[in-house]
Amino acid sequence: MLFNDFDPQEDKMFQVMDNQGNIINPQWKPDITDEFVLESYKFMHFARLADLMAVSFQRQGRMYTYPPNLGQEAISCAVGKQMREQDWLVPAFREMGASLLKGAKLSDIYLYWGGYEDGSRFSGAPNFLPFSVPIASQLAHAVGIGYALNYRKEDGVVFAFVGDGGTSHGDFHEALNFGGVWKAPVLFIVQNNQYAISVPVSKQTASKNLAIKAAAYGIPGIKVDGNDFFAMYRAAQEAIQHAKAGKGPVLIEAVTFRRGAHTTSDDPTLYRTTAEEKKWEEKDPLKRLKGYLVSQGVWKEADDEPLLEQYKKEVEKEFALYESHPPYPVEDVFKYQFKDMPEDLKQQQVAYEKFLQWKEKESQK
């Protein structure tokens, strides 16, 4: 089994292809067609363009603070491609690809980052929790869902994402502990993008890797090249089989690199070097998968440009839907806290509305 052959204690990283897209471990290549791989490559391009354009829109003042996904597309896509309707997605906030594959509309994702509560509803995307900006808090929710699936004897798997920084939070350890005890069908996917905002992994933990943390909770863990689509697909595939067989959770450490800023409020040049960025650029997931597809004769370098032109129009259309959304009423800030708004919250709303009225008058003086 894959988890036995790549023991985190030995700090071995699971890879299927190299940085040029050559298959170096054919025995581990997942049984998927080149047509499926090409479809995945195209989707990764769409997710990347939607992400890059979101950063551009934010810089134009048309959206609020946004967390770029650049460089992490293979993880989200390889996992998301294997989610079923009855499965659950419990994201952190850097899962553009998986979110779209679960059925979220891009316009809804933009709504969320534009500050609209409506964006969290993800209309048409079943079993999808909102993005979790508080670090690692979503993992306890994921285990609770997994526990409920077992209790109800329902067929479902929970896909829970977290960043490397989340592994330093108590929620992470509590979730793995109870997930292991209850044999909850949860995939814990740690996107190790090397930095928790500005703190490198080497200053977050003394562990030789993050996958090794699974051992303390009696569950399998594996360290995977997160920029290798094939490796991520195969690791997730075996983890899903493990969970569906009633054996409990798996921890996947997906080693990658956040090529952009932590958020659009961050300046990564203050804590990392250009040399490090260039090193990881050579490991780019789209570059590697394109290398494979070109070698198989199913894609050409020139094919990217018309594809991206088509996707740009689609993204602009989705962003236009977001921008056409009416401004949210002040009441929205208050009404989602409780089923029935308590009196003190009503008073806060009235006070806030009076403040806004005063502010408007002051601005006109």
Beta-bridge mates of residue 160? 90, 188
pLDDT at 327: 85
- Residue 222 gets which letter from DSSP? E
pLDDT, mean of residues 61-66? 96
Q: Which tokens sit at 175?
A: 């979730």
List all residues 6 or more positions away from 343 whose beta carbon is below 8 Å from its beta carbon.
Answer: none
pLDDT digits (tens, 9 = 90+) for 191-225: 999 999 999 999 999 999 999 999 999 999 999 99
2-323: CATH architecture: 3-Layer(aba) Sandwich (3.40)
pLDDT at 255: 99
List all residues 6 or more positions away from 210 whose beta carbon is below 8 Å from its beta carbon.
Answer: 164, 167, 190, 192, 201, 223, 251, 253
Among 279-283, 300-304, 359-363, whose mean pLDDT is lowest?
Answer: 359-363
Spell out the SS3 assignment of 143-174. Answer: HHHHHHHHHCCCCCCEEEEEEHHHHHCHHHHH
Burial, 347: exposed, middle or buried (Cβ in 10 Å; 0-12, 13-18, 19+)?
Answer: exposed
On the question of pLDDT at 278 being above 90, the answer is yes
On the question of pLDDT at 184 being above 90, the answer is yes
On the question of pLDDT at 72 being above 90, the answer is yes
Q: Which tokens sit at 174?
A: 């509590």
Q: Are residues 46 and 316 in contact, defined by beta-carbon separation less than 8 angstroms?
A: no
On the question of pLDDT at 333 being above 90, the answer is no
pLDDT at 120: 86
In angstroms, the first-to-last Cα distance of the chain is 72
pLDDT at 197: 97
Catalytic residue among 258, 292, 311, 322: 258
pLDDT at 1: 78
Catalytic residue among 45, 48, 262, 288: 262
pLDDT at 328: 81
SS3 200: strand
pLDDT at 284: 99
Does 262 qualify as catalytic in the annotation? yes
Nearest CA-CA partner of 92 in 50, 141, 144: 141
On the question of pLDDT at 335 being above 90, the answer is no
pLDDT, mean of residues 250-261? 99
* Helices vs strands, H then E, count in the chain: 13, 8
Amino acid at 11: D
Q: Are residues 231 and 6 in contact, defined by beta-carbon separation less than 8 angstroms?
A: no
CA–CA distance, 326 with 309 (Å, rounded to integer): 29
Tell me the average pLDDT of the chain.
97
Does 271 qualify as catalytic in the annotation? yes
Cβ atoms within 10 Å of 170's Cβ, excluding its own: 9
Does 45 qualify as catalytic in the annotation? no
